[in-house]
């Protein structure tokens, strides 16, 4: 993916993220929090050092703590680039308000061709979700790093609560 397209996508997602709280003030606030969330994020992943953009897929399963804004679970990210980047980690989630979530995920990163070279990784993500019954979807922004790379991801988060 061309880096100019990735930059344009980043600008659009940031604009949507900052204007969506205006919509949320008018939205129905009868949403209840589910015990679990299975989430998926499709994103454009930009590597600033390499000036390259690739497709990324992020999956997570979060167990929300009853009567709390906190949750915890497992996360997996795959970046479809020349390195075939994979990250597996623990994830902690916090609901800032009704539909705005942040999550932090320490874990390990490895590449398909170098399974023995595990590296520490850390991901921080913010997502805003418009509720559609058990589903919620909206923009997401992520920053991630490991000792060799760092990247910024923007995309669409889709979650299913159950």
- 58 closest CA partner among 82, 91, 34, 33: 91
pLDDT digits (tens, 9 = 90+) for 68-119: 999 999 999 999 988 788 999 999 999 988 789 999 999 999 988 777 789 9
List, in order of start, the domains of the chain with CATH numbers: 33-161 (2.40.160.20)
The pLDDT score that the predictor gives to residue 25 is: 44
Q: Which of 10-14, 23-27, 48-52, 129-133 has the lowest mean pLDDT?
A: 23-27
Percentage of the residues of the chain whose pLDDT score is greater than 70: 80
Q: In 40-79, which positions are buried (b, 16+ CB within 10 angstroms) versus exposed (e)?
A: ebebbbbbeeeebbbebebebebebeeeeeebebebbbeb
pTM, two decimals, is 0.77
The pLDDT score that the predictor gives to residue 101 is: 92
10 phi, psi to nearest 5 deg: -60, -45
The pLDDT score that the predictor gives to residue 27 is: 44
Q: What is the mean pLDDT of residues 33-42?
A: 91
Q: Strand pairing of 52-64 and 70-80?
A: antiparallel
pLDDT at 11 over 80: no
Does residue 87 or residue 23 have the better pLDDT? 87
pLDDT digits (tens, 9 = 90+) for 114-140: 777 899 999 999 999 998 889 999 999
CA dist., res. 145 & res. 158, Å (int): 23
Residues paired with residue 159 on neighbouring β-strands, in sequence order: 39, 136
CA dist., res. 79 & res. 121, Å (int): 14
CB 61 within 8 A of CB 35: no
The pLDDT score that the predictor gives to residue 29 is: 44
CB 45 within 8 A of CB 153: yes
Percentage of the residues of the chain whose pLDDT score is greater than 90: 62
The pLDDT score that the predictor gives to residue 8 is: 61
CB 136 within 8 A of CB 161: yes
């Amino acid at each position: 993916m061309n880096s100019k397209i990735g930059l344009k996508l980043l600008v659009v997602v940031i604009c949507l993220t900052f204007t969506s709280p205006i919509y949320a003030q008018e939205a129905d606030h009868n949403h209840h929090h589910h015990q679990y969330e299975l989430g998926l994020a499709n994103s454009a992943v930009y590597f600033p050092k390499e000036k390259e953009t690739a497709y990324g897929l992020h999956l997570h399963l979060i167990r929300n703590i009853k009567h709390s804004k906190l949750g915890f679970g497992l996360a997996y990210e795959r970046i479809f680039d020349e390195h075939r980047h994979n990250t597996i980690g623990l994830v902690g989630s916090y609901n800032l308000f009704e539909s705005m979530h942040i999550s932090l995920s320490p874990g390990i990163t490895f590449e398909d061709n170098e399974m023995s070279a595990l590296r520490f990784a850390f991901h921080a993500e913010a997502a805003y979700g418009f509720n559609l019954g058990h589903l919620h979807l909206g923009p997401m922004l992520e920053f991630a790093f490991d000792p060799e790379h760092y990247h910024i991801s923007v995309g669409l988060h889709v979650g299913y609560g159950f």
